[in-house]
């Protein structure tokens, strides 16, 4: 039997005990930003005072489905202002959560609603975008998962948050967030790092999806995963056309990496160090999955956003400043094209749908993770070929990276280093589209 839309609406209206079509398809969530205490270090009995959402760090995982309207009501129960940014989502500008550019600061004890329809499935996250070095370091972050319209063939779907914290011996955060030495160098770093994930049961033979999110303010994690074998299937939410083999994984602040892997032993996540490794987390296997049949790992459904054609404009954006970086024209520690901090006017204005090639040149002695709001862009390889589709790109010290972006989302969009110390130290600007 098939039903047309009118019949379906009539049926669901008649069955009043069931949730209405409206609420079944409309995903509404409440987030309360508030001070919390949490056990950050497993096995120790101290509790760390942090900030969180709905009593927890990380904030609750918001799960929705691609193409479905999402509404999040954010309550600010802090004694300071805040704003929530939905990192990586191509959303309407007014929903982007950037104080002074797309909204006012959300004052204490007020509620603000954000509404948008995520156009792409994938792994995203939300975080404070007000005083963000400090508020992210203190815990105002959470995962935002946009599920594909069709079921992905995995036994478990596990979100893994990577972060680091600077703590004293009592497990309390050391609040030297904006210490100027770290701002001018690689940024505020923790003395303790961890991979946080739900204690889901995994079995030998399971096929699992791992969603890695680096929520650290400044730390780049080189990772080694043991006990599993498989492929990278997405970067920054966006499906790779062809799943990719991996050995080590480098994940810069704000970046995401999705993997589909087969479990052969306890899942272990290590951070690679110059001389060894640091264990970030471990998920032991329990029993065996005998149902799972061996099959190739397939690509996730890809973004509906068309690949851009050749650029109608080329630009250069030069990262400058910092320690050992030499002189630059900005009046803060870092600058982009000799301008520090948010200029009154956009650094560039684009027509809607303009395709632009931007050469990101890093003249500094430190790596930077450049993030563009409201858009994804293609990384171009050395031969100018179109590579991965990302919202945050890591550029090595004194290196460069070309990107190709179709500016199809009207509004005022930030472009900044996601090493939040560098952003605080001036490495931020904005572009205007349309
Ligand atoms: Cu993740 Cu400007 O943000
Ligand atoms: Cu940086």
Does the pLDDT of residue 3 top 70, yes or no?
no
Give residue 88 CA to ligand 1 midpoint distance, Å: 8
- Ligand 1 atom nearest the C-alpha of 416 is 2
Contact 126, 80 (CB under 8 A): no
Whole-number average pLDDT of the chain: 93
Is residue 256 lining ligand 1, measured as CB closer than 6 Å?
A: no
Does the pLDDT of residue 99 top 50, yes or no?
yes
Quote the pTM value: 0.94
Residue 170: DSSP 8-state: T
- The single residue listed with the structure tokens 């959402």 is 53
Give the whole-number percent of the chain exceeding pLDDT 70. Answer: 94
Structural domains of the chain, ranges and CATH numbers in brackets: 5-147 (2.60.40.420), 156-288 (2.60.40.420), 313-433 (2.60.40.420)
Is residue 194 lining ligand 1, measured as CB closer than 6 Å?
A: no
Secondary structure in 3-state letters for 192-220: EEEEECCCCCEEECCEEEEEEEECCCCCC
Other Cβ atoms less than 10 A from the Cβ of 395: the count is: 22
Is residue 422 lining ligand 1, measured as CB closer than 6 Å?
A: no
Summarised one tens digit per residue, pLDDT across range 52-74 is: 999 999 999 999 999 999 999 99
Contact 432, 351 (CB under 8 A): no
- Ligand 1 atom nearest the C-alpha of 127 is 1
* Residue 194: predicted pLDDT: 97
* Residue 26: predicted pLDDT: 64
| Top-confidence residue, 422 or 20 | 422
Summarised one tens digit per residue, pLDDT across range 342-359 is: 999 999 999 999 999 999
Strands 334-336 and 392-395: unpaired
Q: How far is CA 415 from CA 107, 249, 360, 373, 429, in A?
A: 24, 25, 11, 6, 5
Is residue 129 lining ligand 1, measured as CB closer than 6 Å?
A: yes
Summarised one tens digit per residue, pLDDT across range 253-310 is: 999 999 999 999 999 999 999 999 999 999 999 999 999 998 999 999 988 888 888 9
Pick from 290, 119, 127, 282: nearest CA to 203: 290
Does the pLDDT of residue 23 top 80, yes or no?
no
- Ligand 1 atom nearest the C-alpha of 88 is 1
* Residue 303: predicted pLDDT: 85
The ligand that comes nearest to the alpha carbon of residue 132 is 1
Residue 335 pLDDT class (50, 70, 90 cuts) = very high
- Ligand 1 atom nearest the C-alpha of 254 is 1
Q: Say how far apart CA 126 and CA 128 lie, in whole Å.
A: 7
Question: Could you tell me the sign of the dihedral formed by the alpha carbons of 215, 220, 226, 230, in that order?
Answer: positive
The ligand that comes nearest to the alpha carbon of residue 214 is 1
Q: Say how far apart CA 290 and CA 206 lie, in whole Å.
A: 9
Residue 248 pLDDT class (50, 70, 90 cuts) = very high
Q: What is the mean pLDDT of residues 325-334?
A: 93
Provide the token pair at 350: 């684009």
Tell me the chain's radius of gyration from C-alpha atoms: 22
Give residue 153 CA to ligand 2 midpoint distance, Å: 37
Is residue 369 lining ligand 1, measured as CB closer than 6 Å?
A: no
Does the pLDDT of residue 20 top 80, yes or no?
no
């Amino acid at each position: 039997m098939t039903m047309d839309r009118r019949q379906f609406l009539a049926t669901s209206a008649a069955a009043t005990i069931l949730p209405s079509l409206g609420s079944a398809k409309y995903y509404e969530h409440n987030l309360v930003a508030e001070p919390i205490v949490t056990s950050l270090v497993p096995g120790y009995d101290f509790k760390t005072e942090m900030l969180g959402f709905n009593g927890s760090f990380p904030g609750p995982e918001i799960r929705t489905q691609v193409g479905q309207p999402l509404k999040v009501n954010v309550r600010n129960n802090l004694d300071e202002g805040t704003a929530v940014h939905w990192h990586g989502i191509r959303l309407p500008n007014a929903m982007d959560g950037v104080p002074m550019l797309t909204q006012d600061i959300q004052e204490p004890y007020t509620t603000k609603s954000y509404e948008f329809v995520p156009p792409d499935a994938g792994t995203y996250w939300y975080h404070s975008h007000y005083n963000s070095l400090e508020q992210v370091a203190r815990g105002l972050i959470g995962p935002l998962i946009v599920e594909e319209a069709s079921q992905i063939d995995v036994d478990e779907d596990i979100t893994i948050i990577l972060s680091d914290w600077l703590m004293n011996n009592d497990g309390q955060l050391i609040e030297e967030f904006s210490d100027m030495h770290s701002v001018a160098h690689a940024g505020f770093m923790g003395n303790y790092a961890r991979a946080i994930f739900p204690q889901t049961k995994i079995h030998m033979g399971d096929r699992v999806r791992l969603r890695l999110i680096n929520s650290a303010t400044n730390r780049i994690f080189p990772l080694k995963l043991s006990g599993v074998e498989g492929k990278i299937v997405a970067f920054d939410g966006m499906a790779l056309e062809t799943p990719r083999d991996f050995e080590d994984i480098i994940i810069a602040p704000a970046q995401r990496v999705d993997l589909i892997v087969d479990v052969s032993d306890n899942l272990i996540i290590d951070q690679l160090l110059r001389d060894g490794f640091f264990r970030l987390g471990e998920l032991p296997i329990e029993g065996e999955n005998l149902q799972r049949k061996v099959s190739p790992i397939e690509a996730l459904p890809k973004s509906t956003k068309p690949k851009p054609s050749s650029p109608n404009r080329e630009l250069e954006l030069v990262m400058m400043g910092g320690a050992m970086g030499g002189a630059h024209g900005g009046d803060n520690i870092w600058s982009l094209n000799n301008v520090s901090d948010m200029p009154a006017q956009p650094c560039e204005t684009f027509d809607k749908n303009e395709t632009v090639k931007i050469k990101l040149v890093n003249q500094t002695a430190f790596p930077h993770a450049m993030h563009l709001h409201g858009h994804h862009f293609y990384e171009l390889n050395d031969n100018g070929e179109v590579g991965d589709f990302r919202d945050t790109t890591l550029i090595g010290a004194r290196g460069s990276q070309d990107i190709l972006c179709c500016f199809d989302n009207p509004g005022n969009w930030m472009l900044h280093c996601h090493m939040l110390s560098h952003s605080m130290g001036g490495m931020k600007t904005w572009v205007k589209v349309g």
